[in-house]
Amino acid sequence: MPDVRVIVVPGTAGAGRALLPGSAPVDVPDLAAWMAELERREAPRWVLPALDESYPALLGAGVRLGRCHDLSLVEGILLAFEERPGRPRNLAAAWARPRGLPEPADPRPVTRGEQPTLFEPDRGTTPVGTDPVLAAADVLADQERRLSATAHPDRLRLLAAAESAGGLAAAEMTHHGLPWHADVHTDLLTDVLGPRPTPGARPAKLAALADRIGAAFHGRPINPDNPQSIVKAFAREGVEIPSARAWVLREVEHPAVAPLLEYKELARLWVAHGWTWLDSWVDDGRFRPEYVVGGVVSGRWATRGGAALQLPKALRTAVRADPGWSLVVADASQLEPRVLGALSGDQRFAEVCATDDLYTSLAADAFADDRPRAKIAMLSAMYGGTSGEAGPLLAVLRKRFPTAVDYVEQAARAGEDGRVVRSRLGRTSPPPSDAWHERTTATGDEATDRAGRQAARDWGRFTRNFVVQASAADWALTTLATLRRRLTTTAPDAHIVFFQHDEVMVHCPSDDAAAVVEEIGASAREASSLVFPDSSILFPLPAVAVSCYADAK
């Protein structure tokens, strides 16, 4: 497919400006209809200032785009790569920056309930004194020049393309929504919490637990929702605890511990995904979270409200396919350890990765078939754990797989020195702050320098994990982009409705479910060949077709 690029800058009242190859800019009164027709005839790669500002309205008008270059998302990747994080990445700023002009700040995100129509008024990010579509063309040319100047331009171009495809997928996921049965959700809340309480009151189960907690403290006042109140209550009992975290409480012997732990778990469900959440986020049988592409520095996604990426397992039963449809759910198997194997090129470790259960193979190879200890060793390598038995287990791993372990340890040393590290495709870690550099500079004072060394080690643990986690995000994002493209022809009625780090879910007609399962596997293999072309590491992405999300786990 030829990579014909069409630049579009939406305006107001459904109009916009467009620039086709070899032509002068034109005004387009009905931008959605014009784009729909050109998409049907030419399937170009659309160049847009920011998908999150314009694509939802296009989807609402029935326009689905196949390919796109999101100037804002790509600018964010390049600014991080150039160690200029935090600079505004909107069209006006990207155009002004190379000209030495003031850079307008990025606009605040459009919040739920403010969803624009075709299209929202200018939000202060259109370049002043120039044709906006020509400014977009200038920014595109500048981005292409900067991409070409990198050490591995093909990798960074792949990241830019995948990030832009992710922007399309994110808007489509919000548009189609995750099938959600509000009645099932309501019944679950009633079963575990009691009837819906009046505003300002606790549910019956929480109120009863609060009474039990108070009784365990001899009727003295305690607010189980307030950590400091819990700490003080234990102190009055002669039990000193550093915090009210669940893992701390589990180490305490006291009659209040059991009801407190139960209260915490149920209160989390009530606050994060209770009746108010249901009223706010589920409409007409769909949960429509607002995804933030690259919302985490490692490239993982975030959400703006709705806590879509922290759905409790108990609520998966509310996610159910429509009649005659299926949910195809896929979850990558032990993704980050496999990514480390591909990054490092450790051939011994590649042999361990050749099975579906990496930890079992690793245990058989180096840990006397003790899978839990093998997992601790692997996680210690990626996260820098050294306490308890982690240190000796990591030593075994280092001896058996020196190339793999050295890869993350080099990344850790880079972080301790204040240098940035990069993912496989070039996503770049943020540099440490000036305050960090000041804190880690030797002063001759023993206590101060000890604190500085600790700060350096902490940053080293961050960069140690960044190279693995961000590269895993590269692979997952490329898989998502590949799957989105493949489904267009194989199962055009299917919708990607959920994506979380290493998991993807497709809602499709049941007759298409088998084809979707095949396409997910093929997408994972294609992504692996694109991101890690020289690696033999397997990246299993098993998929299963179910009617209820809870049945996929």
Max CA pair span of the chain = 82
Print the domain residue range for 311: 291-335+474-552
Q: Residue 312: CA atoms inside 13 Å, Cβ hemisphere, count?
A: 15
List, for residues 4-34, the tens digit of each pLDDT value: 999 999 998 999 999 999 999 999 999 999 9
Question: What pLDDT score does 299 carry?
Answer: 96
Domain count, the chain: 4
Is 178 within a domain? no
Average pLDDT over residues 106-128: 62
Q: How far lies 316's CA from each of 159, 175, 273, in Å?
A: 31, 20, 12
Identify the CATH number of the domain in which residue 201 sits: 1.20.1060
| Average pLDDT value for the chain | 93
Same domain, 41 and 138: yes
Please answer whether residues 475 and 527 qualify as being in contact, where contact means their C-beta atoms are separated by less than 8 angstroms.
yes
pLDDT confidence tier of residue 114, bands split at 50, 70 and 90: low
Nearest 5 degrees, angle CA 114-CA 199-CA 310? 55
Q: Which residues contact 29 (CB under 8 A, 6 or more apart)?
A: 14, 15
| Alpha-carbon gap, residue 162 to 177, rounded angstroms | 21
Which amino acid is located at 512 in the chain? D
Identify the CATH number of the domain in which residue 492 sits: 3.30.70.370
Q: Does the pLDDT at position 121 exceed 50? A: no
The dihedral region occupied by 513, where left means phi > 0, alpha psi between -120 and 50, and beta the remainder, is alpha
Identify the CATH number of the domain in which residue 371 sits: 1.10.150
pTM of the model: 0.93
Same domain, 351 and 375: yes
| Alpha-carbon gap, residue 272 to 290, rounded angstroms | 16
Same domain, 507 and 360: no
| Alpha-carbon gap, residue 69 to 75, rounded angstroms | 11
pLDDT confidence tier of residue 113, bands split at 50, 70 and 90: low
Nearest to 381 by CA among 417, 345, 406: 406
List, for residues 216-253, the tens digit of each pLDDT value: 999 988 999 999 999 999 999 999 999 999 999 999 99
Is 80 within a domain? yes
Same domain, 14 and 92: yes
pLDDT confidence tier of residue 356, bands split at 50, 70 and 90: confident
| Alpha-carbon gap, residue 259 to 247, rounded angstroms | 14
Q: Where are the alpha helices (DSSP H) in 384-509?
A: 390-400, 402-416, 434-439, 446-490
Is 15 within a domain? yes
Please answer whether residues 155 and 425 qualify as being in contact, where contact means their C-beta atoms are separated by less than 8 angstroms.
yes
Same domain, 341 and 317: no
| Alpha-carbon gap, residue 521 to 331, rounded angstroms | 11
| Alpha-carbon gap, residue 164 to 480, rounded angstroms | 11
pLDDT confidence tier of residue 133, bands split at 50, 70 and 90: very high
The two three-digit tokens of residue 378, written as one number: 């692997």
Is 144 within a domain? yes
Q: Residue 95: CA atoms inside 13 Å, Cβ hemisphere, count?
A: 19
Same domain, 545 and 522: yes
Q: Which residues contact 377 (CB under 8 A, 6 or more apart)?
A: 362, 366, 367, 390, 393, 394, 396, 397
Question: What pLDDT score does 110 carry?
Answer: 64
User: Tokens 């361990």 map to which residue?
Assistant: 352
